[in-house]
Structure 1
């Protein structure tokens, strides 16, 4: 299996990095590690641990709910937007299927977006520019103004 990592260190580009992953369980820890490695040179002031945790949740969801008739990949991208960090996770699933759940204490699953909702400044889901679905989150005050 090949995994692609893009980096755009150019100051003119708001995209700080991206990775393409296969929809396998091994991609979840890989996404955390690669994000930590490639965000480090930008020295964000927000919690990289919180970002890595939210990326884990969104990549897990993308793997579980992404659907395609053909072989597919998921894509994680991160951007600097003035003082904020925005992270996007793209998969070929249906945008309407993304919803915030309020699971019972006995439910084993369903807390990923609830966690993102509690840690991020904001989050969004909708159609991906690659086709399928994108779920993103924003961490405010990631860099000084």
Structure 2
């Protein structure tokens, strides 16, 4: 009988490390993107941020899918010690995401996603990247982890 050598697990991603994910603009891209972000957060021991990150990533990538009219959607994920920032790029700077006013929230079927992002993220915003692109980013903070340090 042959016994395989034990291989130590890979170390978690270095804090401050950035990861990029580029995918075609397909209906399945929001799910793949949110799963990518969840794996990164679990690996970096930021498990408390997984669910809010999945929701926010799904909403922002879905907006890029529907409104970006871009062949590719790119995510940049930066891991901090107790936080993560996700930046989603598309090539339509003319369609900026907006929060639906509270009085329209009950009537409209679309536009509620950014209310979720606004309620879960410590910060979010839009950056215009030249004439042909924009990026929506959000930052999540693990307040329990940062308080323990």
Q: Please, what TM-score do these two structures have when normalized by structure 2?
A: 0.76
Deviation at 1:108, TM superposition (A): 1.0
Cα gap change, 1:47/1:10 in structure 2, threshold over 3 Å: closer, same or farther?
A: closer
1:67 and 1:15 mapped to 2: Cα distance?
29
Deviation digits for residues 42-86 of structure 1 (CA, Å, limit 9, x no counterpart): 011533111101100000000111135xxx201111112453211
Decide which structure has greater helix share: 2
Q: Please, what TM-score do these two structures have when normalized by structure 1?
A: 0.78
2:105 and 2:140 mapped to 1: Cα distance?
27
**Equivalent residue number for residue 20 of structure 1:** 22
Deviation digits for residues 10-48 of structure 1 (CA, Å, limit 9, x no counterpart): 63x723422111111111111122222232210115331
Let me know the Cα RMSD of the aligned residues.
2.4
Structure 1 gap ranges (5+):
1-8
Q: 2:36 aligns with which of 34, 37, 47?
A: 34
**Equivalent residue number for residue 114 of structure 2:** 113
